[in-house]
């Protein structure tokens, strides 16, 4: 909690744009002081901070690479110095493979890059946040929310390393949820489906056609605000007993159908 403002503190990785920014803005609207991270401190990052601060809360940006485990302590120290200890941590940052290669052709470089950020980096940052939470017992409700992907259960043979990283995150959530439940720290997984963001700009026409053909029962793209709504709900203290829950935000994409 921010001792100056009396507000809960949320940290959202990958919060410069897209899903991360929508999540951060939703939490700001709910009265959290918000820190966001990204790999670049640029005009986009500063514009994001201004958008968050417009909600009347304290906001800050800390540049840092989730994949650089040795840098995690500095990032968390900077967040705490600006706002205070984290009450709600949203692990959202992730990367796609540098090359979309068939499962039989992909490279160690592709694999190591994706898992280094999406799984290894995300795990150790969540671990660091959890240990800091445990070091400061608090009556303030606390939670960790991991934004993964429908790719945790759906195979894409031209980016299997990405699917592997998200499937691994699902077990990270279960492990952390089981370990932290007795300490009053809830852990959840949010699985987005096909979400329209800058990252999916190159496949809009492809998925427009697939959605039109019935791929998504809800008959539309997902929006970053859909993910934000789920995270906002999970950040509430009255859902903590549902720790370990997976919330699918995919318009019915992963429902098995005949």
By annotation, the residues acting in catalysis are 162
Number of H helices, E strands in the chain: 8, 7
Angle between helices 160-180 and 122-135 (to 10 degrees): 10
DSSP string, 174-201: HHHHHHHGGGTEEEEEEEE-SB-SGGGG
CA proximity to 36, closest of 63, 57, 55: 63
CA proximity to 147, closest of 22, 6, 2, 28: 22
Q: Please enumerate in sequence order all residues whose Cβ is within 8 A of that of 75, keeping only pairs 6 or more positions apart, or say none.
A: 37, 62, 64, 125
């Amino acid at each position: 909690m921010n001792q100056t403002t009396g507000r809960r503190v949320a940290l959202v990785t990958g919060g410069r744009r897209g899903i991360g920014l929508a999540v951060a803005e939703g939490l700001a609207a709910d009265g959290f002081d918000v820190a966001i991270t990204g790999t670049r401190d640029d005009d986009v990052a500063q514009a994001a901070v201004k958008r968050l601060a417009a909600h009347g809360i304290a906001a800050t940006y800390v540049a840092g690479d989730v994949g650089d485990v040795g840098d995690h302590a500095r990032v968390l120290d900077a967040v705490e110095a600006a706002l205070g200890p984290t009450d709600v941590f949203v692990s959202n940052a992730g990367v796609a493979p540098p090359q979309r290669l068939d499962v039989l052709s992909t490279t160690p470089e592709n694999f190591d890059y994706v898992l280094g950020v999406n799984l290894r980096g995300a795990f150790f940052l969540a671990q660091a946040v959890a240990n800091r939470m445990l070091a400061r017992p608090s009556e303030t409700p606390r939670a960790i929310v991991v934004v993964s992907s429908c790719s945790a259960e759906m195979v894409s043979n031209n980016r299997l390393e990405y699917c592997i990283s998200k499937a691994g995150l699902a077990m990270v959530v279960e492990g952390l949820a089981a370990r932290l439940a007795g300490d009053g720290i809830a852990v959840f997984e949010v699985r987005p489906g096909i979400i329209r963001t800058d990252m999916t700009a190159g496949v809009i026409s492809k998925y427009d056609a697939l959605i039109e053909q019935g791929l998504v029962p809800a008959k539309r793209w997902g929006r970053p605000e859909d993910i934000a709504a789920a995270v906002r709900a999970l950040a509430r203290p009255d859902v903590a007993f549902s720790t370990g829950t997976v919330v699918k935000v995919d318009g019915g994409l992963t429902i098995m159908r005949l």
